[in-house]
Structures are given as structure tokens and as C-alpha cells.
Structure 1
Amino acid sequence: MNHATETLIVGAGPFGLGLAAYLQKRQHDFRMVGYPMEFWKRHMPAGMLLRSGIEWHLDPDNQWTIERFLSERGTSRGLVEPLSRELYLSYCEWFMRRAEIPVQETYVTQLGQNGNHFQATLADGSSVRARQVVIATGFYSTPTFRPGYRN
């Protein structure tokens, strides 16, 4: 299946989710591809504490804030600072539900330019044609991928 959109967001981590919320509120045509908070879930250590406080949140329009998330849970700010990785991931899930951010859970396997558009091939067999692409992926190096490394 081929989809067309104005903006393709590759990656569903904090920055991709924040951008999606911004675009959605402004009724901008976009498509987000990725697995929500995958990098954080797989590579950030359990029990990790964030340096950012609860005043930092994903929503650029300040509607779905961490403070609101805590308030709805009946949790006091003083009990959660510094924020734990687990609480932050719970907030991110809550944010996605509240902001109603659609995410196509798959990977981009190929991205190229075709005239004045980009064409993305996805791992689920579909493709996306977009006028612009935002790469909002996490980063991670593995011991099996290094420049000049050969098996």
C-alpha cells in the first residue's frame, strides 16, 4: 500500500512525538513511522533517573504536560523528582493517548528522493511518498557495526 503525506516523521521517540503533536494540532498532514519510545525501552537502564525535571515535557503547546499527568494520577511532584525512566515512559504512553498521535509501527528500510518528493519503503511492505522528511531516530552503536568492520 502506498501512502502520500506532506511530512514523514521517521522515529517515535520524544522529539518525533513532540513534533507530531505540534503538526497534528495545526492540522498539518503527516505520517509517523517507528516504534514509540523504542530506544528508551531497549537501551536506557531500568531505574535510571532523568536530569530533566517535570517542567520538561513532550507537548509544545503545554496541554499534555508531566504536571498534568501527575495530577491525573494523584501523584505529588515531590514524590517523583528526579523522574525515573519508568515514570517517564508511562508519561509518554499517556501523552500519546491524550494527544491521539497516530504511529505506524514499522521501520523505514529505504529512503530516497524521487524528483521533488521523498519515497520511503517500509518493513511492513508499504511505502510513503512525502514532500519532506524529518529524521527523529534514536542513536545506538553496536559492536558489530563499525566503519571499516568486516565479518
Structure 2
Amino acid sequence: MTEDMLDVLVVGGGPAGLSAALVLGRCRRRVLLCDSGEPRNQASAHVSGYLSRDGCRPADLRAVGRRQLEPYDSVTVRDMAVEDVVREGAAFRATLADGSSVRAKRILLATGLKDTFPALDGAERLFGKGVWTCPYCDGWELREQPLAVYGAGPEIVGFALELRLWSADLALLTDGPSGIEPGDLDLLERAGVRVIEDPVETLEGEAELERVRFRSGDTLDRKALFFLADAHQRSALVERLGCELGRKGTAETSDYEKTNVPGVFVAGDASRRVQFAIVAAAEGAMAAFAINTELLHEERAALGRAE
């Protein structure tokens, strides 16, 4: 890649980044897509709720996306992280992991989020094999199975009740005092959700979750455990560029995935909307449309100044 000016640098090769690169490629924009190869859903067995691709492997979805970029000769894909991006005049300069740099008129960050696991022995080891965060993604495959919800405090109540859509055999593990108001405890009881305050010792199982072992020595057979994930930006670029973050750590974006930083867009899980693969792809397409429109306005203005 030379020092010639790119139209767009897309950082991230998941559904959002690939979708944006596709739309921009069809607009004949010069695009470099950089992918560090660390997708958030790499532990997942399948992509769910993605029209025409429901149930496919995440790697297969990305592979199809890459193949569909091949006809667009203005789009380049590199398996490489972007280490830094700084503003340089009206454009940006990005430093890649191999030490090279590129310049671009616009930046689209589709870098996703990274989940933070609870301090629960076995949770990270069994993630994707019985420990999950999103019932929309994995609840269907676990329907009518014995499930657990892990967490405490008022915010866990709604999550536990939500999981009743997929199973009536549901236990809420609060790993100590629940911190749940009496009225909400009554609501959970009426809904058939068992609340277990016994501290959890570990999650057991190898290829999949088999049981929960408590410090008391009791065990509870469970097919899956869901927890409310805390997540943070996978890439430091979002904050480094000055993008505003919301309460949950996602980038605050306005129409068409624009951030508060001119020229910088954020799409996919890293932005503020529902964190579904198909929504990420849609956000990437919207961002691409907005980026192309901005560039068209700039190019028209430049033609006017040349007259």
C-alpha cells in the first residue's frame, strides 16, 4: 500500500466492516479493510438470526463476505491490526502493525467489543460451550433445557425473566446475597425461577457445561449458564480518536453511524445499537452510504472552487 490517499480505511473485518467495504467498493471508492482476526463471536458455533445465513459458522460468514469483495478492485483486504490513527490535516494517518502507514479521508471503526467474564471459575473456559451471554443468539438451541442465570442485584431480574421464553427450568445463581428487592423475589418465584444464594465454587464440564458446584458441596445439573456481560471496546482507537462513549462503553453515534469526531464513523457492536450480526452488517452499509455522500459533497465543492 502506497502513501496515496485512500477514500476510506475500514478497521475490522466482521459483518459491519465487510458490509461497509462492499457498499463502498460498489461506489468505486478506494478502501483498505484491515482485520486483526479477533472476532467477538469466535467462540460461537453459529451465527443466529442472520437472514439467509442463520446457523452458519461465524468463520464461514466472514469468508463469504471476503469472497464477495474480490470483484471490487478498489478494495484491498489485509490481515493486519491498525495500531494507531491520528488526524493529519483534513484526513487521517494510520499506522499498521507492520510499521507501514496509510492516509485516508475517512475512518470507519468496526472493531467490536470484548466481553469481560465474571469472577467465576470455569466461565471463560466454557464460554461458547455452555456459558453464554445472548439468549437471542443461543437460546433457541437450548430451548426446554435446564438453564442457569448468573448475577445479582436489580438488573438481573429482567434478564432472568427474559430467559423464561426459552426454558421453564431456570435457576438464578446470585453467588451470595441476591441484592434483589422482596417484590422482585416474589415475582421470580411466581414465574418459577429458583433463586439460589449459595456461593458458587466452580462450573464443571469439559466439552460442555455439565453442572454447577457450590461451596457448600451441593451441585446443580445445568445445560447452560447465561450472564449479563460487561464489555469494553476491543480497540483503543475509538477512545484515542476522541469518540464519545455511552454508559455501556459503546460509541455514541448519530444518524448513519457518525460519531462526534468529524470523519470518524463507528459501526457494529462497538456502536450503540442492538448487538446482532445482521444489525452490524446494516450499520456498516449505512455508514458506507453516509461516507460516500460526504465524499461526494466534498468533491462537488472542489469542482466549484476549480471553476
TM-score, with structure 1 as normaliser: 0.63
CA deviation map 1:36-95 (0-9, x unaligned) = 5x314xx54243x4331434xxxxxxxxxx4xxxxxxxxxxxxxxx514x2x42132123
Give the SS at the match of 1:28.
coil
Tell me the number of residue pairs that the alignment of Structure 1 and Structure 2 aligns: 113
RMSD: 2.5
The answer as to 2:20 corresponding to 1:50 is no
Aligned position for 1:138: 112
Give the SS at the match of 2:67.
helix
Indicate conservation of the 8 Å contact 2:13/2:62, yes or no: no
Indicate conservation of the 8 Å contact 1:3/1:127, yes or no: no
Q: For the structure 1 residues 83 and 118, does the alpha-carbon distance in structure 2 shift closer, same or farther, using more than 3 Å as the test?
A: same
* Distance in 2 separating the partners of 1:99 and 1:129: 21
Name the aligned partner's letter for residue 61 of structure 2: Y
* Distance in 2 separating the partners of 1:93 and 1:140: 22
Indicate conservation of the 8 Å contact 1:11/1:33, yes or no: yes
1:1-151 to 2 correspondences below 5 Å: 2-35=3-36, 38-40=38-40, 43-47=41-45, 49-55=46-52, 66=53, 83-84=55-56, 86=57, 88-100=58-70, 102-141=76-115
Aligned position for 1:61: none
* Distance in 2 separating the partners of 1:98 and 1:50: 18
- Percent of residue pairs bearing the same amino acid type: 27
Structure 2: where are the runs of 5+ without partners? 118-231, 233-307
CA deviation map 1:71-123 (0-9, x unaligned) = xxxxxxxxxxx514x2x421321231133163112111111111111111111
Indicate conservation of the 8 Å contact 1:12/1:33, yes or no: yes
Name the aligned partner's letter for residue 39 of structure 1: P
Would you identify which runs of 4 or more consecutive aligned residues in structure 1 move more than 3 Å?
Answer: none
* Distance in 1 separating the partners of 2:116 and 2:33: 25
Q: For the structure 1 residues 52 and 95, does the alpha-carbon distance in structure 2 shift closer, same or farther, using more than 3 Å as the test?
A: same
* TM-superposed deviation, 1:3: 4.6
* Distance in 1 separating the partners of 2:21 and 2:84: 21
TM-score, with structure 2 as normaliser: 0.33
* Distance in 2 separating the partners of 1:134 and 1:98: 19
* TM-superposed deviation, 1:142: 5.7
Aligned position for 2:141: none
* Distance in 2 separating the partners of 1:94 and 1:138: 19
Give the SS at the match of 1:102.
strand
Structure of larger gyration radius: 2
Structure 1: where are the runs of 5+ without partners? 56-65, 67-81, 147-151
Name the aligned partner's letter for residue 138 of structure 1: G
Name the aligned partner's letter for residue 52 of structure 1: G
> Does 1 or 2 have the higher relative contact order (CA < 8 Å, sep 6+)?
1
